[in-house]
C-alpha cells in the first residue's frame, strides 16, 4: 500500500511537471507572450493528457516562479512587465549561511548605486514622470510615515526600472525589499521625512540631468553605510 501511494505521488508530480514543460516550451517557441491568456484548465488537461488537479498543480508552480498569474473570474495569464523574483529563497539562504546585515546592505548599495547611474543614461520621459510622482508623494506624506515608505519603495523601483535592464530591476526590487520589510513604518519625524524627500529629489534631478556620476553619488550618499544600516536593522 505504501509503495502504491509513493507511485501515485510520483505520477502526480510528473503530470504537474508536464504542465510546466508544456507552458514553458510554448513561451520559448514564441507561441505565448506576456499578457496572453492560457487555455482553460479543462482544455489544458485534454491537450497535455493529464488530470485537471495536475493542471492546477503545474499552474501553481508556474505562478510561484512569476511566469503566470491568475486573475479571479478571468483566467490564467502569462505575466506582463519585468520578471518578479521571490525574495523568500534569499531570506532562507541568508539564514542558512548566516549572511550578515552588513553583507546584505553592501549588496544593496552596489546594486542601487549602479542602477542610478544607468537610469541617468537610459531613463525615458515616462520613467522620469514615475520618479517625479513618487518624490511629490513623499513630500505630501511627511505626516504619514507608512504612506511615505510606500512612495520611497516605489521611487527606488522606478529608478531600477529606468535602467532598462529587467534583470537588474528585479534584483534591486528583491534585495531592497528585504530591508523595507524590516522597517515597515519609519520611526522618523515629519522634518526628518522632509529631509529624506529632498534627498530623493536630488537623485531624481541628477537622473533628469543625464548625469550618471552625480546620480551614483547622490544615491550613494542617500543609502546608509552598511555597518550603520545594519546596526539600525538590528535595533529594529
Mean pLDDT over 29-58 rounds to: 92
Ranges assigned E (strand) in 61-209: 68-71, 75-78
Predicted confidence band of residue 77 (pLDDT cuts 50, 70, 90):
very high
Tell me the domain boundaries of the chain: 8-78, 88-235
d(CA 221, CA 224): 7
CA angle 143, 144, 146 (to 5 degrees): 155
The CA dihedral of 131, 136, 142, 148, to the nearest 10 degrees, is -30
Residue with the three cell numbers 510554448: 26
What was the pLDDT predicted at 163? Answer: 96
* CATH 3.30.70.20 given to domain 8-78: no
Q: Phi-psi bin for 198: left (phi > 0), alpha (psi -120 to 50), beta? A: alpha
Task: Identify the residue with better confidence: 236 or 39.
Answer: 39
Task: Identify the residue with better confidence: 18 or 1.
Answer: 18
pLDDT of 2 strictly over 50: no
pLDDT of 75 strictly over 80: yes
Residues with Cβ < 8 Å from 26, sequence gap 6 or more? Answer: 32
Mean pLDDT over 22-49 rounds to: 92
CATH of 88-235, one of 2.40.160.60, 1.10.540.10, 1.20.120.530, 3.90.1170.50: 1.20.120.530
pLDDT of 213 strictly over 80: yes
Nearest Cα to Cα of residue 127 among 206, 222, 212, 207: 207
pLDDT of 4 strictly over 50: no
> What whole-number percentage of the chain has pLDDT above 90?
50
Predicted confidence band of residue 89 (pLDDT cuts 50, 70, 90):
low
Task: Identify the residue with better confidence: 200 or 172.
Answer: 200
pLDDT of 96 strictly over 50: yes
pLDDT of 145 strictly over 60: yes
Q: Exposed (0-12), middle (13-18) or buried (19+): which is 116, by Cβ within 10 Å?
A: buried
d(CA 159, CA 33): 26
What was the pLDDT predicted at 62? Answer: 87
Q: Which of 51-55, 90-94, 143-147 has the highest mean pLDDT?
A: 51-55
Task: Determine which of 69-73, 101-105, 117-121 has the lowest per-residue pLDDT on average.
Answer: 101-105
**Per the structure block, which three cell numbers stand in for 183?**
522597517
What was the pLDDT predicted at 87? Answer: 54
Question: Are the CB atoms for 135 and 186 separated by under 8 Å?
Answer: no
Task: Identify the residue with better confidence: 6 or 46.
Answer: 46
pLDDT of 227 strictly over 60: no
**Can you give the pTM of this predicted structure?**
0.64
Residues paired with residue 71 on neighbouring β-strands, in sequence order: 75
Amino acid at each position: 500500500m505504501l509503495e502504491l501511494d509513493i507511485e501515485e505521488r510520483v505520477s502526480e508530480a510528473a503530470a504537474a511537471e508536464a504542465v510546466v514543460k508544456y507552458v514553458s516550451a510554448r513561451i520559448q517557441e514564441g507561441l505565448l507572450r506576456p499578457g496572453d491568456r492560457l487555455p482553460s484548465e479543462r482544455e489544458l488537461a485534454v491537450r497535455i493528457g493529464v488530470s485537471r488537479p495536475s493542471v492546477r498543480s503545474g499552474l501553481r508552480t508556474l505562478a510561484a516562479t512569476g511566469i503566470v498569474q491568475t486573475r479571479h473570474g478571468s483566467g490564467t495569464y502569462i505575466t506582463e512587465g519585468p520578471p518578479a523574483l521571490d525574495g523568500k529563497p534569499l531570506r532562507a539562504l541568508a539564514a542558512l549561511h548566516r549572511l550578515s546585515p552588513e553583507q546584505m546592505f553592501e549588496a544593496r548599495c552596489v546594486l542601487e548605486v549602479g542602477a542610478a547611474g544607468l537610469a541617468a543614461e537610459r531613463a525615458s520621459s515616462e520613467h522620469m514622470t514615475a520618479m517625479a510622482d513618487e518624490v511629490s508623494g513623499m513630500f505630501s506624506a511627511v505626516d504619514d510615515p507608512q504612506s511615505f515608505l510606500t512612495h520611497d519603495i516605489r521611487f527606488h523601483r522606478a529608478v531600477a526600472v529606468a535602467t532598462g535592464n529587467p534583470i537588474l530591476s528585479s534584483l534591486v526590487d528583491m534585495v531592497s525589499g528585504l530591508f523595507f520589510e524590516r522597517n515597515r513604518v519609519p520611526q522618523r519625524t515629519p522634518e526628518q521625512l522632509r529631509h529624506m524627500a529632498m534627498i530623493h529629489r536630488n537623485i531624481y534631478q541628477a537622473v533628469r540631468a543625464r548625469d550618471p556620476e552625480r546620480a551614483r553619488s547622490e544615491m550613494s550618499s542617500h543609502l546608509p553605510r552598511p555597518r550603520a544600516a545594519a546596526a539600525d536593522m538590528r535595533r529594529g
